[in-house]
Amino acid sequence: MFGWEFPPHITGGLGTACFGMTKGLLKNGVQVLFVVPKAYGDESEEAVRLVNASDVTIDIRKTGQQDFWKDITYLEVNSSLVPYVGPEAFDNLIETGEAYYSETEESIFNARYTFSGKYGANLLEEVSRYALVGAQIASDSEFDLIHAHDWLTYPAGIAAKKASGKPLVVHMHATEFDRSGENVNQQVYDIERQGMEAADKVITVSNLTRNIVIDRYGINPDKVITVHNAVEPTDRNELLDVQKHVPEKIVTFLGRVTFQKGPEYFIEAAYKVLQRDPNVRFVMAGTGDLLEKMIRRVAQLRIATRFHFTGFLRGENVDRMFAMSDVYVMPSVSEPFGISPLEAMRSNVPVVISKQSGVAEVLQHALKVDFWDIDAMADAIYALLRYNSLSSVFSKYGAHEVENLKWENAARLIKDVYEKALEK
Q: What is the pLDDT of residue 42?
A: 54
- Edge to edge, the sheet with strand 201-204 lists 146-149, 168-172, 201-204, 224-226
**Phi and psi of 404, rounded to 5°?**
-90, -5
**Residue segments in the chain with a per-residue pLDDT below the cut of 70:** 5-12, 37-123, 234-240
Q: How far apart are CA 180 and CA 259, in angstroms?
A: 7
Q: What is the pLDDT of residue 339?
A: 87
Q: What is the pLDDT of residue 374?
A: 98
Q: What is the pLDDT of residue 4?
A: 73
For the domain covering 236-403, report its CATH number.
3.40.50.2000
Tell me which amino acid residue 48 is: V
Burial (Cβ within 10 Å: 0-12, 13-18, ≥19) of residue 376: middle
- Is 204 strand, coil or helix? strand
- Looking at the structure, give the CATH architecture of the domain made up of residues 13-230+411-423: 3-Layer(aba) Sandwich (3.40)
Residues 6+ apart with CB under 8 A from 94: none
CA–chain centroid gap for 127, Å, is: 16
From 124, 246, 174, 134, select the one nearest 12 (Cα to Cα).
174
Element (H, E) at 249: strand 249-254
pTM of the model: 0.76
Q: Tell me the H-state helices in 369-406.
A: 374-386, 388-403
Q: How far apart are CA 14 and CA 356, in angstroms?
A: 19
Tens digits of per-residue pLDDT, 30-51? 988 888 766 555 545 665 656 6
Task: Give the Å distances, CA to CA, from 276 to 217, 219, 238.
Answer: 45, 48, 35
What are the boundaries of each domain within the chain?
13-230+411-423, 236-403
The dihedral built from the CA positions of residue 374, 294, 14 and 19, taken in this order, carries a sign that is: negative
